[in-house]
């Protein structure tokens, strides 16, 4: 150690130098041991502190995990209920569309049936008019017969009186004749008596002839009475026979047309069929007659079937009338009560929809609060406050829905009252009967359609209310933000663990380079960067969507303003920065075809108005501004008056 540089004192003695070296080595070893013991003690304290911090961290993590799991369960229930309500809404909308389609088809069928009924009623009106004419004729004939009959009765009464008088005179004459005979027997003047007897016999003979004539008149009067009765019966039978006669005439005309067509076809086949020369006309006629008989047999069978169907139709019609009466007596009051309940249910539905809208707003508020909660992770107190507020809000919502469900359960079904029967309507004539039946038919068909629709609606609403009673209606987020937050926290925890392990490894291995960064820290930072980049991309997409919606809605608003207010509005850019808008508006009328480049510019900040264009347009604007703005202070009236003036000039130019 004589050559080279050394840290020790120059030229010491050998013994002293060795002693000093040994002492220094011993001192260095003692200091190193004490330093190592201190380091070991610090390491043990750090390990105990690390264990304590780890236990505290694990307990806090477990608490947060339990809270997050409970909240996730609640949110999953909320989401299920919200999805269920949304699906029910879609199903109800589909049912409503189907009901509308079926109602349209039923309306078309009813219109067609109405047309058929109108045609039938017109036919019945024509038949009724014909029957009325015939009835009037018969009434006239009966009046004539009754007048003749009354006249004959009067004559009969007069003749009976005359007969009684003549019978009295005959009795007197017979008594006188008897006296005369006695006188003749006693021998009075025979010649005079004979003449008187002859005269009396002549008068008696004449009276006998008159009596015979009166008896004949009496018998003829009785015969006329019988004929009158028979004629009245015939008139009543004729009224029924005339209807049958009209039907038979219609059938006769139809059959005549069929027979004419058949014989024309037969004649045409005989004349034109020259292919089979061996077949004679008689054989063809026989074949035709055989076919005709077969067709007659088929027609008879079809007629029997038709009669059976008519009988079934009448039975069904009677059943339908009975069902209609039962419907009016039994179901109408219940349907009215159901309609009232439906109104109450619809009001409750509106209230629930209002509550739903308020809850949606509250959900949006809670989402915003959760976003703020993510941004403020370093402040645990504020996090606890926001979570407590969120939990209290959810508990309030659950309590409100429970109270509403209890109110719906307390609604008891009311007893239905049986309505009075429909009074019997007096039908004065066939026409009034037909009109009343037609009106009743239309009313009943309308009632049936309305009641069917109300029944379907009530059934659907009752089903929804029963399902609501079974499950509690709770709101649900569309995206489970707490679950996302939990995943992010789990990733950060894993990265922090890796970072902690890398730091421990670095400390234990006594790495000299302090400038080195552990790989876990670098990965965590890269993960944070990626998360931030994803959030930035999402926000950019949202911003672009909002810009697109804003431009579309602004265009719609401008088109609506131009359509209904008559001015095209254009926002002018800032002259200093073209990307920004200024406070100036450009207004051009829809009717400025004849006024080239004529428009108004309003500066909102400076509260100024300028007109640009030709001299005519500027003069009109100055006149109207003096009238409406300077004198009256009504700026909206200025714009409307200007548009009217331009429209008048536009119409004149068009003419």
Least confident of 414-428, 503-517, 531-545: 414-428
More confident residue, 589 or 32: 589
Q: Note the Cα 523 to chain centre separation in Å.
A: 60
DSSP string, 110-165: HHHHHHHHHHHHHHHHHHHHHHHHHHHHHHHHHHHHHHHHHHHHHHHHHHHHHHHH
Mean pLDDT of the chain: 71
pLDDT: which is higher, 408 or 347: 347
Which residues 6+ apart lie within 8 Å of 349 measured at CB? 461
Helix (H) or strand (E) run with residue 603 in it: strand 599-603
Residue 247, token pair as written in the block: 């039907």
pLDDT at 274 over 70: no
Measured from the Cβ of residue 46, the count of other Cβ atoms closer than 10 Å reads: 12
Residue 197: pLDDT band (50, 70, 90) is low
Average pLDDT of span 119-128 = 74
412: which DSSP letter?
P
Mean pLDDT of 392-399: 61
What are the φ/ψ torsions at residue 511 (nearest 5 degrees)? Answer: -70, 130
**Confidence band, pLDDT 50/70/90 cuts, at residue 417:** very low
Nearest in space to 163 (alpha carbons), one of 90, 214, 224, 202 = 214
Q: Return the H-helix or E-strand segment holding 206.
A: helix 190-272
Residue 632, SS3 per DSSP: coil
Buried b (16+ CB within 10 A) or exposed e, 242-251: beeeeeeeee
Q: Which residues pair with 602 in a beta bridge?
A: 585, 609
Helices (H) then strands (E): counts for the chain: 10, 4
Distance between CA 364 and CA 481 in Å, rounded?
12
Asked if 648 contacts 629 with a C-beta cutoff of 8 angstroms, the reply is: no
Q: Is the pLDDT of residue 243 over 50?
A: yes
Q: Would the pLDDT of 268 be above 50?
A: yes
pLDDT of 424 reads: 43
Q: What is the DSSP letter of 591?
A: T
Convert the pLDDT of each residue in 590-607 to its tens digit: 877 555 678 888 888 887
What's residue 311's pLDDT?
81
Rg for the chain, CA atoms, rounded: 60
**Which is higher by pLDDT, 512 or 321?**
321
Residue 426 has a pLDDT of 39
Altogether, the residues listed in the chain come to a count of: 655
Structural domain boundaries of the chain?
Answer: 38-270, 283-411+432-478, 566-654
Tell me, yes or no, if the pTM score tops 0.85: no
Average pLDDT over residues 122-142: 75
Q: How confident is the model at residue 415 (pLDDT cuts 50, 70, 90)?
A: very low
pLDDT exceeds cutoff 70 at 36: yes
d(CA 417, CA 329): 10
The predicted structure's pLDDT at residue 565: 79
**What is the per-residue pLDDT for 358?**
72
| CB-based contact 419:333 (threshold 8 Å) | yes
Q: Extract long-range pairs of 532-539: CB within 8 Å, 24+ residues apart.
A: none
Q: For 333-375, what is each residue's pLDDT tens digit?
A: 776 777 777 777 777 777 777 776 776 676 666 666 666 666 7
For residue 3, the model assigns a pLDDT of 42
pLDDT at 22: 61
Reported confidence tier of residue 543, pLDDT bands at 50, 70, 90: confident
**Range 111-129 burial, b when 16+ CB lie within 10 A, else e:** eeeeeeeeeebeeeeeebe
Q: Residue 647: pLDDT above 80?
A: yes
Per-residue model confidence (pLDDT) at position 472: 43
- pLDDT-based confidence at residue 385 (cuts at 50, 70, 90): low
Q: What CATH code would you report for 566-654?
A: 3.30.457.60
Q: Which residues, in sequence order, are CB contacts of 573 under 8 Å at separation 6+?
A: 579, 580, 581, 582
* Residue for token pair 């663990």: 497
Band (pLDDT 50/70/90 cuts) for residue 511 is: low
Query: According to the model, what pLDDT value does residue 582 have?
Result: 78
Least confident of 94-108, 367-381, 609-623: 367-381
Across 51-65, 398-412, 456-470, 516-530, least confident range: 398-412
Query: What are the C-alpha distances in Å from 634 to residues 565, 568, 627?
Result: 16, 21, 9
Q: Across residues 8-32, what is the average pLDDT?
A: 56
Query: How much is the average pLDDT of 302-309?
Result: 80
Place of tokens 């920065």: 577
Q: What does the pLDDT read at residue 427?
A: 39
Mean pLDDT for 142-161 is 74
Average pLDDT over residues 551-562: 81
Residue 414: per-residue pLDDT: 40
What is the mean pLDDT of the segment spanning 362-390? 60
pLDDT at 212: 72
More confident residue, 32 or 189: 32
Name the band, by pLDDT with cuts 50, 70 and 90, for residue 556: confident
- Summarize pLDDT for 277-301 with one digit per residue, the tens: 455 666 766 776 777 777 778 778 8
């Amino acid at each position: 150690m004589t050559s080279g540089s050394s840290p020790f004192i120059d030229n010491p003695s050998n013994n002293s130098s060795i002693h000093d070296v040994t002492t220094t080595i011993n001192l260095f070893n003692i200091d190193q041991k004490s330093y190592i013991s201190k380091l070991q003690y610090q390491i043990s304290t750090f390990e105990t502190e690390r264990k304590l911090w780890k236990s505290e961290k694990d307990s806090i993590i477990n608490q947060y995990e339990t809270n997050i799991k409970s909240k996730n369960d609640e949110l999953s229930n909320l989401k299920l209920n919200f999805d269920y309500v949304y699906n029910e809404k879609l199903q109800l909308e589909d049912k409503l569309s189907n009901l509308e389609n079926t109602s349209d088809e039923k309306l078309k069928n009813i219109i067609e049936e109405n047309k058929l009924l109108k045609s039938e009623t017109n036919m019945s009106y024509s038949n009724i008019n014909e029957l009325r004419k015939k009835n009037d004729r018969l009434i006239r004939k009966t009046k004539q017969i009754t007048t003749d009959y009354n006249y004959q009765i009067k004559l009969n009464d007069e003749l009976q009186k005359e007969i009684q008088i003549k019978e009295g005179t005959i009795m007197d004459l017979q008594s006188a004749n008897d006296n005369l005979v006695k006188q003749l027997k006693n021998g009075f003047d025979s010649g005079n008596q004979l003449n008187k007897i002859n005269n009396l016999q002549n008068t008696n003979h004449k009276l006998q002839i008159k009596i015979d004539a009166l008896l004949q008149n009496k018998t003829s009067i009785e015969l006329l009475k019988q004929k009158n009765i028979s004629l009245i019966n015939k008139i009543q039978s004729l009224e029924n026979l005339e209807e049958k006669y009209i039907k038979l005439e219609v059938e006769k005309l139809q059959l005549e047309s069929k027979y004419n067509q058949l014989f024309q076809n037969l004649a045409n086949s005989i004349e034109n069929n020259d292919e089979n020369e061996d077949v004679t006309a008689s054989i063809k006629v026989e074949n035709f007659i055989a076919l005709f008989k077969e067709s007659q047999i088929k027609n008879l069978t079809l007629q029997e079937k038709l009669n059976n169907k008519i009988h079934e139709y009448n039975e069904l019609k009677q059943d339908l009338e009975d069902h209609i009466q039962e419907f009016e007596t039994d179901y109408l009051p219940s349907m009215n009560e159901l309609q009232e309940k439906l109104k109450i249910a619809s009001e409750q539905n509106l209230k629930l929809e209002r509550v739903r809208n308020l809850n949606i707003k509250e959900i949006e508020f809670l989402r915003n609060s959760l976003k703020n909660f993510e941004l403020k992770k370093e402040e645990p107190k504020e996090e606890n406050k926001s979570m407590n507020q969120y939990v209290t809000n959810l508990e309030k919502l659950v309590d409100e829905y429970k109270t509403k469900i209890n109110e719906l359960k307390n609604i008891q079904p009311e007893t239905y009252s049986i309505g009075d029967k429909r009074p019997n309507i007096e039908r004065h004539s066939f026409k009034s009967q037909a009109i009343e039946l037609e009106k009743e038919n239309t009313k009943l068909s309308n009632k049936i359609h309305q009641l069917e629709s109300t029944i379907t609606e009530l059934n659907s609403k009752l089903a929804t209310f029963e399902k609501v009673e079974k499950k509690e209606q709770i709101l649900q987020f569309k995206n489970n933000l707490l679950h996302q937050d939990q995943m992010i926290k789990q990733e950060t925890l894993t990265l922090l663990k890796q970072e902690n392990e890398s730091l421990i490894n670095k400390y234990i291995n006594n790495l000299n380079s302090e400038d080195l960064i552990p790989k876990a820290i670098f990965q965590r930072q890269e993960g944070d960067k990626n998360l931030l980049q994803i959030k930035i991309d999402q926000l950019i997409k949202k911003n672009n969507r909002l810009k697109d919606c804003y431009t579309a809605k602004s265009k719609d608003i401008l088109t609506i303003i131009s359509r209904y207010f008559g001015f095209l509005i254009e926002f002018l850019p800032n002259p200093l920065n073209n990307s920004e808008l200024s406070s100036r508006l450009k207004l051009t009328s829809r009717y400025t075809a004849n006024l080239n480049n004529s428009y108004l510019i309003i500066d909102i900040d400076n509260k100024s108005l300028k007109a640009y264009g030709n001299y005519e347009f500027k003069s009109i604007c100055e006149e109207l501004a003096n009238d409406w703005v300077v004198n009256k202070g009504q700026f909206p009236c200025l714009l409307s008056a200007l548009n009217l003036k331009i429209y008048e000039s536009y119409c004149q130019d068009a003419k």
